[in-house]
Amino acid sequence: MTTVIDYTVVIPTTGRDNLAALLSALDNADGPRPAEVIVADDRRPGEPLPLPPLSLPVRVIASGGGGPAAARNAGWRAARTEWIACLDDDVSIGADWPRALVTDIAALAPDCAGSQARLSVPLPERALTDSERDAAALMTAWWITADMAYRRSVLAELGGFDERFPRAYREDSDLALRVRRAGYRIEPGERVTRHPVRSEALLTSVRAQRGNADDAVMRHKYGGRWRELVGAGPGRLGGHVRATAALTVAVLSAAAGRPRAALTASAVWAALTAGFAADRIRPGPRTAREVTTMAATSALIPPAACWHRLRGELSVWRHRERSRERTAVLFDRDDTLIEDGPYLADPGGVRPMDGVAASLRRLRAAGVPVGVVSNQSGVARGLLTERQLAAVNARVEELLGPFDTWQVCVHGPDDGCGCRKPRDGLVRRAASVLGVAPSRCVVIGDTEADLRAADAAGARGVLVPSPRTQPVEVLRARREQRVADDVGGALRLACVT
């Protein structure tokens, strides 16, 4: 019996010329067709996005110009399938790519969250230039999202890509680290996708130093060993700092009328810059153009790298300060966000509770993170599949907007897990994903188990009774002044809005 795999292809784009060729290749490829292709247009609003005639269902959504991480988030959140296949708009796929993708993901165990394609980069047979060496490194890099398939449920659990990474740089490694830390695996697949070597302008490598701001975010999130964790190599920041410091001392000494100190510092700067340039020139073709480019950019890269790293560290500090005061709101799903249908397996049965959509809009407009913490033991009982659960949760987001994290316990009452409410696992995991302390979380639900989970995590719980809430639970919560008539009242009681 053939396994049926539903998948959506998400393509973030800035309107590259290759987009039309990629869509045409998808349209003409052999194998199971995607349920939908979502093109996340990340350009300025108002510009038309020309697409070729296609028989595939293609939906174009505007992603706001926030970069590839934000565009991919917009794409997978709009999707309705469990598997999301991300493709960059500059890659090329083979004629059997859909069949190879489905073969790759059909073989994965439930604890495997993603499948990574094998990238092929067309390289010349001569010695490689600096930019060509960077492109060649993609073939052995870990977790490149140029062609990566992820389970939608895992993306929802972890909040997707971190949008603090505005470039196509580190956002894929960051997500992969969070996926692995959550206990999932990412496996290499057999499908092969071609990635181009982009032409290099004179200052391409200097502009690339903006990535040092993203490196500051990685250091903040994963500590000083983050490069080892993502297989990135040692980096050159230390040398850039020394060269920039020498140049700064030379300039300041000259301005202060200290020629000897200025001359000494200039000599140190020249030696460090020459060494850096030589390291970049030595393995290359050593043409006049390449040598000139390496010499010029080797003088500019160190101060650019230091500037962007300082900018990144400042951004990290500001984010940390904001996070200390930020409050997050976590919702139970059934009879809090949507009407409870016992072991709901059909997305068509999703019915939002009255007033919830308006409350969520106010929270998002105020910048308050929102998440879901939900017991779904129907999976353990065999009454619905994880695929059906993911489809229902996707429908909830379609009707109520995106949640920053979905934390779902699929275990049964007797499984002894640490996540099923009234235990605190779901609340603590949600707080961790959202980057807030559990004590800064408000948990809103319709049973005493929601309140007890909040208490166990050090969060604040508010009960919004539903027809299934036991009278004794309401009575106890009223004594503790933790009852509201609806979600809006719960937010006011918790002083969130």
The residues annotated with a catalytic role in the active site are 332, 334
Amino acid identity of residue 229, one-letter, is: L
403, 37, 195, 193: CA torsion to nearest 10:
110
Q: How far apart are the C-alpha atoms of 488 and 464, rounded to whole Å? A: 10
Are 70 and 53 within 8 A, CB to CB? no
Are 404 and 430 within 8 A, CB to CB? no
DSSP-H helix ranges across 91-203? 97-106, 130-136, 152-158, 171-181
CA distances from 278 to 206, 243, 342 (A): 17, 15, 68
Are 433 and 159 within 8 A, CB to CB? yes
DSSP lists the bridge partners of residue 264 as none
Find, among 294, 63, 297, the residue nearest to 160 by Cα: 63
Q: How far apart are the C-alpha atoms of 471 and 490, rounded to whole Å? A: 18
Backbone angle region of 142, left / alpha / beta, with phi > 0 → left and psi within -120 to 50 → alpha: beta
Q: How far is CA 420 from the centre of its chain?
A: 26
Residue 295 token pair:
């010499």
- Is the Cα torsion angle 425, 426, 429, 435 positive or negative in sign? negative
Are 133 and 114 within 8 A, CB to CB? no
Backbone phi, then psi, for 114, in 5-degree steps? -155, 160
Q: How far is CA 87 from the centre of its chain?
A: 14
Find, among 162, 291, 276, 277, the residue nearest to 220 by Cα: 162
Q: How far apart are the C-alpha atoms of 361 and 354, rounded to whole Å? A: 13
DSSP class of 469: S
Rounded (5°) CA angle 475-480-485: 65
Q: How far apart are the C-alpha atoms of 22 and 97, rounded to whole Å? A: 11
